[in-house]
Structure formats: structure tokens, C-alpha cells
Amino acid sequence: MKRAAFTHRWIPILLLVPQIAIIGIFFYWPAIHALRSSFYLQDPFGFGETFVGMSNYLSLFKSAAYGRAAIFTVGFTLIVTFLSLGIALLLAVKADKVLRGAKTYRTLLMWVYAVAPPVAGVMGVIMFNQSWGPLSDFFKSLGWDFVLGVHYYDTAFAMVLIAVWKQIPVNFIFFLSGLQSIPKSVREAAMIDNPSAAGRFWDVTFPLLAPTGFFLLITNITYSLFDTFGIIDTVVKGEPGNNPMTLVYKVYVDGFRGNDLGGSSAQSVILMVLVLAMTVVQFRLVERRIHYT
């Protein structure tokens, strides 16, 4: 289908130049730089660099710290994704169903989207405060001696909780929107065909939410990988040490604080490949799923 268009030659180029210029300088240049640096070892005193081929990558695979960060990242991503999607779906289904107060509930459940991740982290730190944090007290009363920043799994638990709290609103908004886009008459036809509300949900509603669900799956994985930086940084209070951290956080720690530019760049490149793969998967999957309308 040929679109109607203007035929001017220079105007589109002028319009595009600012965007492409910025992208060129602040996206492609750093990206290529990172790629290049990953193959070099920097002299710690800044006196140059030596080409070391794949050596940076190899030492990553041998590094125990990297392995731990990788395992934590995978676990963290899976748990946060699963929990925030599940809870958000439950809330969206209920919010869609109730007749009274729907608007109020929606507002109360979605405003957290606007909270900055580090602030969420700060709230979490306070709630898990060693001496008087409400959540620490709660867990102590259950016999779990919770020490944030010292016990690995305690810290991991806190990070997961905060990350889930932060991510529920986005999923909630999308699920609710997805639910409301299912034609009312299809749901009414189901009310006539199936006496069981649970049956109607699993047979009709859930499959029609699948496109939204897939999209959210990818979005959530991206979130867990990248947007949790602020949470992790505040929870570890700037002292990474032996605390759980995601691979993205490790890029920052090794590069900015540890001055290991080569190793940090190698980690960046690995993450780049990962994101590339995920985006390809997303487009393949999402394209195939859009066939109902």
C-alpha cells in the first residue's frame, strides 16, 4: 500500500539529523567502544592497554563471583517475574470484576509505577532495619533472624520483595487493559455456555490474555535485569561486598569502582547479546500471536 507522502528531498534528512546524531554519539559510539574494550586489558595506572583477545571473557567464565551473580540474576528474574505477574493478574481480574470502587482501586494499585527504584530501595531498607524495622520484627516473630546486608539470602529476599512491589503496577495496568479489550459479548456468550466462573476464566479469558502475557513476560525480564539497579544499589548501601547482585550491577561495580574496564566491557557485551536474543524472540513470538483481531 503506497502511502501518500511529500517528495521534498532535504527536509526529512534535516528532521532526522538531530535524532540520529545523538544516537550516533551517545549510543553507537559507546556500544562500539564497549565491544572494543572487551578485548583489551587496561593498565590500572592509565598507561595504555594490551590486546588480550578473548582472555577477559574466559576469566569471567572462571570467576566465582561472576558465576554467583549470574545465578542470582537468573533466580531473581524468575522469581520476580513470576510473582509480580501472578499477583498483578489476580488484582487485575478482581479490579475488572467489582462494580463498586473500581476506579479507586485502580488508582491505589497503579500509582507505585511513578516511584523511583532507589526510593523503593530506601523504603525497603527502613522496613528491614535491624533494630526496629516492621518487617524484620515480623520475621523475627516467626523465628527468622533477619539481617539485611549480612545474610545473603535475607538480602536477596528483601530485593525480591521490593522489586515485586515496584513491578506489580505496570503488569496490573496492562492486564487490566487486556481484560477490558475482550469484547463484552464474548464474555456474555461464555456466561451462557459455562456455569463455572473459574472455567470461564481458564477457557476464554486467559487464552485471550496470552498476547498481553507474552509481551509482559519479556518486559518483566528486561525490568528484572536492568531497571532494578536502583533497588540493589540502595539495599546494599553502596557496599557491594558479598551481597547478591545482578549482572548489570556487577558491570557497574567492576568497571566504575573496580576500574576493570576490560572485564566490565566483556560483561556488557555478554548482556548485549542476551538482550538481542530476547528481542528477537519477542518479535517472533509477538508477531505470531497477533491473529485474533
Question: In the range 253-272, which residues lie near other proteins by CB under 8 A?
Answer: 255-256, 261, 264-265, 268, 271-272
**What's the min distance (Å) between Cβ of 58 and other proteins?**
20
- The window from 40-48, 56-64, 76-84, 124-132 that contacts other proteins (CB under 8 A) reads 124-132
Q: Is 82 in the site for other proteins (CB under 8 A)?
A: no
Q: Within its chain, how far is the Cα of 43 from the centroid?
A: 34
**What's the min distance (Å) between Cβ of 140 and other proteins?**
13
Q: Is 195 in the site for other proteins (CB under 8 A)?
A: yes
- Return the C-alpha cell found at 149: 546486608
Report helix, strand or coil for 281: helix
Closest CA to 266 of 278, 254, 277: 254
φ, ψ of residue 151 in degrees (nearest 5): -80, 125
Find out whether 133 and 127 touch, Cβ atoms under 8 Å: yes
Q: Is 147 in the site for other proteins (CB under 8 A)?
A: no
Find out whether 211 and 182 touch, Cβ atoms under 8 Å: no
- The window from 55-63, 64-72, 73-81, 275-283 that contacts other proteins (CB under 8 A) reads 275-283
- Return the C-alpha cell found at 79: 522469581
Closest CA to 122 of 245, 239, 224, 234: 234
Find out whether 248 and 136 touch, Cβ atoms under 8 Å: no
Instruction: Identify the H or E element spanning 19.
Output: helix 10-23
Q: Is 170 in the site for other proteins (CB under 8 A)?
A: yes
Task: Give the DSSP letter of residue 3.
Answer: P
Of 52 and 190, nearer to other proteins (C-beta) is 190
For cell 532526522, the residue is 16
Of 63 and 226, nearer to other proteins (C-beta) is 226
Q: Is 132 in the site for other proteins (CB under 8 A)?
A: yes
Q: Is 281 in the site for other proteins (CB under 8 A)?
A: no
Hey, which residues between 42 and 81 contact other proteins (CB under 8 A)? none
Q: Is 288 in the site for other proteins (CB under 8 A)?
A: no
Q: Is 143 in the site for other proteins (CB under 8 A)?
A: no
> With CB under 8 A, what is the number of residues at the site for other proteins?
114
**What's the min distance (Å) between Cβ of 63 and other proteins?**
18
